[in-house]
Amino acid sequence: MARRRKAVQRPTKTAARRHSNPMRVAKAKPTQRPTERASTPTPLTHIDQRGEARMVDVTEKGATERIAVAEGRVLMRKETLDVVLEGNAMKGDVLGAARLAGIMAAKRTHGLIPLCHPLPLTKVEIDINPEHSLPGFLVQSTVKVTAKTGVEMEALTAVSIACLTIYDMVKAVERGIRIEGIRLLHKSGGKSGEWNAGN
């Protein structure tokens, strides 16, 4: 009696293609997500194509009302805060001097930050409020202008110098005072429009 031959199962066309071309399988599963391909870094506007520092050309921009708000914190001991609030600091009116210093600093920002444009500021306001929870002071600046470029640097410079002035006025009482959290809170105007911290 003749033996039966076992049927040999031939691979399907799909399986043959899969085994004959392993690179086709690898291409079918991309490892890079679409969002990763789409993201591109924002260029530094103060650096030209040769990598050199430059002042941004704002000739073609339109003049709009621009506002920037910045803040900073001056942290100190509770006893030092009480001395300032009672008006017993050795150098006199601590907060009044800090406000004036912040206003003057905003107006002179273009002379301190190399690539800033000189701007005709229309408003500089410095608010200094005691915060017993710190303890210390919360310093906030608001700067306004109608111009072709923004005033973020003016607001940040105003806050920085106001905080430093508080330190200078009170360092005889406490040299370990800390200045922290200087940041931009808000800006509006210009092509980029409104921006708020936390967005």
Residue positions annotated with a catalytic role: 168
- Tokens 């809170």 appear where? 185
Q: How many whole angstroms separate alpha carbon 45 and alpha carbon 152? A: 15
Question: Tokens standing for 30?
Answer: 């991309």
Question: What are the two backbone dihedrals, phi and then psi, of residue 98, each rounded to the nearest 5 degrees?
Answer: -65, -40
Inter-residue contact 141 to 153 (CB < 8 Å) = no
Tally Cβ neighbours within 10 Å of residue 195.
15
The DSSP annotation for 30-90 comes to -SS-HHHHH--PPPPTTB-TTS-B-----TTSPPEEEEEEEEEEEE--HHHHHHHHTT--T
Inter-residue contact 149 to 163 (CB < 8 Å) = no
Three-state SS at 123:
strand
Question: What are the two backbone dihedrals, phi and then psi, of residue 78, each rounded to the nearest 5 degrees?
Answer: -60, -40
